[in-house]
Amino acid sequence: MELELSVDRSSPVPLYFQLSQQLEAAIEHGALTPGSLLGNEIELAARLGLSRPTVRQAIQSLVDKGLLVRRRGVGTQVVHSQVKRPLELSSLYDDLESAGQRPATKVIVNTVVPASAEVAAALGVAEDSDVHRIERLRLAHGEPMAYLCNFLPPALIDVDTAQLEATGLYRLMRAAGITLHSARQTIGARAATAAEAERLAEEEGAPLLTMQRVTFDDTGRAVEYGTHTYRPTRYSFEFQLLVRP
Amino acid sequence: MELELSVDRSSPVPLYFQLSQQLEAAIEHGALTPGSLLGNEIELAARLGLSRPTVRQAIQSLVDKGLLVRRRGVGTQVVHSQVKRPLELSSLYDDLESAGQRPATKVIVNTVVPASAEVAAALGVAEDSDVHRIERLRLAHGEPMAYLCNFLPPALIDVDTAQLEATGLYRLMRAAGITLHSARQTIGARAATAAEAERLAEEEGAPLLTMQRVTFDDTGRAVEYGTHTYRPTRYSFEFQLLVRP
DNA sequence: GTAGTTCGATTGTCCGGACATTTGCATTGA
DNA sequence: TCAATGCAAATGTCCGGACAATCGAACTAC
């Protein structure tokens, strides 16, 4: 096969990252076929003029992504399966947009309210302290798809209605310099109340998919609490899991 | 704080793993408080008689788990939040058991059938070729909780009804030498049919939580396809997500 | 022919060092 | 007082080497 790889030492991009990106592209592109061996690390390092630790670091990052599998005494193989991408902390807006669904958002509520006990507990703030409350209807192809209710701690970001309608909440937070770190999610189902059915153009009692999420930044601070309801005929959660070795 | 750490060089357990386990235990136990600095890597290495790469490998594994955060020029901090554990490729049986729910399984169907088009596509086998079909009712505290319908490729493992009732499917597969690698999951909701309602002691039309999953081993081979329905009043999916840096 | 053994190949672990980059703080200057 | 500069501290990247553990296949012995 003789895959052509090269690194640019004058680039500020780390060498291991350059290599891992080229390998990932080769896998995506099909130049590295599933099941094929990657060639041993020593030889690969010599060919590229890199040290073995650097090459290992590149390979390891792809193993973590689930694209490669290492076998001691055998070599490193490309995983062959319809593996796409592990679950990411993604926003519904981005998901829809990358799926070509042309999302639209209608902001229903954008105000400041005192925190209820539930919200206060989730965000780690005092009860009755001020929090932002945002309610949005998310549409795809003009059809209602989900009703999103979010709470944000005060003084975190400017929640501008126009911006909220043009993009997703996560993108706004990232743009405000917040580095998202982790989130705790709960996915369930229940029957729609009359009010919920009205908002989503469903019948009362129709099954709804629900998701609650608390998102934390890298200091451990809760930056968002959300309660979402989805129309199960229009939306489902789909993701990839990796086994921790 | 002066955390006491030590490694046993005569142990076959890798040094970096010994260290990461001790650090994780210290975090879990509270000896390392959230937000506290971990002390610089150089000094830590010197104190333990290890090299810096080894210490870094230990720390990195905890960063990957979401327990620590590194900041260049600052140090390594313990994440303070109710972070428990990222989503794992776990079995419902194990989940229930570790939650102290005393799971029980009733095998309804355990037979070999020709693969339908849907099953054949999911498992990557020829249509109408033989596959195992397993249907189980999963109970907790004597109450029905989920109805599990699984398909396995032929000649993969012995599917013994008695074993299926005593443990989970994943545990059986692991015991048969299969190394699980990844899975593709879809979670949705829909109204219960009359037959489904009967099996789960629900009303017809009641909302059900559904999950479909295809599991792959490390060679990329599909080893299981499952279609599960859960009672949303009894069960919901709860998990932790990490942002990929 | 079959089972057990040896051996080469490959990844896993670990070391010690070097320099670059980023951050936060103290110092300095206007 | 406030902003710019410089410095120390810490992690990020990279090197070259050494030995151990494991797998698969060829080989040998029965």
Choice among A24-28, A36-40, B95-99, B139-143 with the minimum mean pLDDT = B95-99
Whether residue A144 contacts residue A98, with contact meaning beta carbons closer than 8 Å, is answered with: no
Kindly list the residues from chain B whose CB atom is less than 8 angstroms away from the CB atom of residue A82. 184
Alpha-helical regions (H) of chain B: 15-29, 41-48, 52-65, 92-98, 117-123, 161-166, 169-175, 194-200
Q: What is the DSSP letter of B115?
A: P
Q: What are phi and psi of A90, to 5 degrees?
A: -110, 160
B88 touches chain A (CB under 8 A): yes
Would the Cβ of A84 be found within 7 angstroms of any atom in strand D?
A: no
Q: Where in chain B does DSSP place strands (E)?
A: 68-71, 75-78, 103-114, 130-140, 143-152, 180-191, 207-217, 222-230, 237-242
Would the Cβ of B9 be found within 7 angstroms of any atom in strand D?
A: no
Is the pLDDT reported for residue B94 higher than 80?
no
Q: Where in chain A does DSSP place strands (E)?
A: 68-71, 75-78, 103-114, 130-140, 143-152, 180-191, 207-217, 222-230, 237-242
Best residue in A61, A81, A202, A228 for a mutation probing chain B (most B CBs within 10 Å): A81
pLDDT of B245: 59
pLDDT of B141: 85
**B152 token code pair:** 């396995």
Would the Cβ of A74 be found within 7 angstroms of any atom in strand C?
A: yes
The separation between CA A28 and the C-alpha centre of its own chain, rounded to angstroms, equals 20
Kindly list the residues from chain B whose CB atom is less than 8 angstroms away from the CB atom of residue A89. 241-243
Q: What pTM did the predictor assign? A: 0.82
The integer distance in angstroms from the CA atom of B73 to the C1' atom of C30 is: 29
Predicted confidence (pLDDT) per residue in B109-156, tens digit: 999 999 999 999 998 889 999 999 999 998 888 889 899 999 998 866
Predicted confidence (pLDDT) per residue in A141-193, tens digit: 888 989 999 999 886 677 778 777 877 788 888 777 788 888 888 999 999 99
Q: What is the CA radius of gyration of chain B?
A: 23
Predicted confidence (pLDDT) per residue in A58-109, tens digit: 999 999 888 899 988 889 988 876 555 555 556 666 666 666 667 788 999 9
pLDDT of B217: 84
The integer distance in angstroms from the CA atom of B14 to the C1' atom of D19 is: 14
Which residue of chain A has the CA closest to B88? A243
Is the pLDDT reported for residue B2 higher than 60?
no
C-alpha to C-alpha distance for A201 and A85, rounded to whole angstroms: 33
Alpha-helical regions (H) of chain A: 15-29, 41-48, 52-65, 92-98, 117-123, 161-166, 169-175, 194-200
pLDDT of B1: 46
Instruction: Give percent of chain A above pLDDT 70.
Output: 88
Please state the length of chain A: 245
Is the pLDDT reported for residue A11 higher than 90?
no
Whether residue B208 contacts residue B196, with contact meaning beta carbons closer than 8 Å, is answered with: yes
C-alpha closest to that of A171 among A238, A96, A234, A120: A96
- Across chain B, mean pLDDT equals 85
Look up residue B189 and give its amino acid: A
Average pLDDT estimate for B160-167: 77
In this structure, the strands spanning A143-152 and A222-230 are antiparallel
B189/A189 Cβ within 8 A: yes
pLDDT of B226: 94
Q: Which of residues 204-223 of A touch B (CB under 8 A)?
A: 205-209, 216, 218-222
Would the Cβ of A220 be found within 7 angstroms of any atom in strand D?
A: no
Best residue in A196, A243, A244 for a mutation probing chain B (most B CBs within 10 Å): A243
Query: pLDDT tier at A1 (50, 70, 90 boundaries)?
Result: very low
Q: Could you give the 3-state DSSP secondary structure of residue A133?
A: strand
More confident residue, A90 or A23: A23
pLDDT of A176: 78
Chain D positions with a protein C-beta closer than 7 Å: 8-18, 21-24
Of B81, B188, B219, the CB nearest to A209: B188
Query: pLDDT tier at A28 (50, 70, 90 boundaries)?
Result: confident
Is the pLDDT reported for residue A127 higher than 70?
yes
